[in-house]
Structure 1
C-alpha cells in the first residue's frame, strides 16, 4: 500500500513541474496559472481516489489470502439430529438413506429400550487434548498456513462398528475436496472423537468451507 501512496505523490509532483514550465511561457500568465491550478486540483483528486481504490483492493485481496473461514452453519447439528431420527428407541436402523427399515427386535414388556445414539458439542478446533480427545482450542477461522484443522464431536451411546465419516467441501463451488471414514472400535456411553484435515489432503483455498459429519453413511 505504501507503493501506491508514493506513486500518487510522485505523479502529482511531476504534474506541477510540467505545468509550471508551460505557464511561464504563456502570454497570459495569470489566466494560465488559474486554469492550471483548477486542473491540478481535479487531477490530484483523481489520483488520490485511484490510489485509495487500489489500496482498498490490495487490502481486500490480502485479507482474503490470509484467512479462510470454516463455517459450521449449524449443518452438523441438523445432520446429527437426522442420525437420532434413524436410530429410534425401538432399535430400527438404516444402513444408508435408501435402505429398508430393519425389523425391530422382539422386546418383552418391561424391558428398557436400547439407549439412543446422539451427538453434541460439534466444533472446529486448532488442537485436541491427548487425554480425552476433546477440543483443546476451539476456532472457526484459520490462516491459510494452518497445519491442521479439526472437527470434533461428543458421541453418546455409540456402539462398536458404527461407521463415522467426514466430508470437507468448498462452498464456492460445492465440491467435496476430501472424505475420510473411521469405524468405532468400542461401544461407549460418552466419548469425544475427531477428524482432521491437513494441506496434504487438500489445498486450503481462501474462502468458506463446510465440514459435514456422517454416521453409517446417513447425512
Structure 2
C-alpha cells in the first residue's frame, strides 16, 4: 500500500513538472512575437523621423516665402517714398510661351508639273567691254589681232569691242583724240539687237590725218562714256 502511494506521488510530481515548464513550440512562438514587436517599433520610429523631416521642410519653405514677401513690401514702400515706381519690384506671374502650331491638314500646292519655281533674274544692263585697237577685223566682226602701235603708212585703224544687251535704236559712238584733242566722232544706231557680238569703228588717213604721236579712242553708249579710253600711238 505504501509503495503504491509513493509511486502515485512520484507520478504526480512528474506531471506537475511537465505542466509547469513551457514547450519548445511555445518558446518559438514567443521568440517570433518578440521579433515582430521589435520590427514594428523600428518601422514606427523610421516613419516618425521621415514625417518630422517633411514637416520641417514645409515649415522652412513657408518661412522663406513669408520673408520674401516681407522684403518686397519693405522695398516697395522704400521706392514709393523716394518717388519711384513700386510696380517695378512687384512680383509678376510668368506667361507661358506656346509653340507655334502647324496644321498638318493644311494643303500644300506644288508647282505645276512638279517644276521648281526659281526667281527670274534681272536682265543685265547694256554694255561695251574688252575694247581694243586693231588693223582689221574678221568675218565675225572681231579684231584679227590687238595692235597698239601704228604707223603713218597704215590705211586704217579700228577700235573693236564686245557688245551685250544692245537694243534696237540705241546709239553707239566712238570719239577719237590726238594729243588730248578730239579730231573725229563716229556714231552707229543699230535696228537690231546685239548681244555678245563684236562691234567696230575705224578711221583712215583720208578723213583724219595719221599724225605721229599719242592717240586715244573713247566708246560711248547713248551719249555716256563706257569703260576706259583705249590708248594707241602712231609713228612716222
Q: TM-score band (shorter)?
A: 0.3 to 0.5
The structure with the larger Rg is 2
TM-score, scaled to structure 1:
0.47
TM-score, scaled to structure 2:
0.43
- Higher RCO structure (Cα 8 Å, ≥6 apart): 1
1 or 2, which has the higher strand percentage? Answer: 1
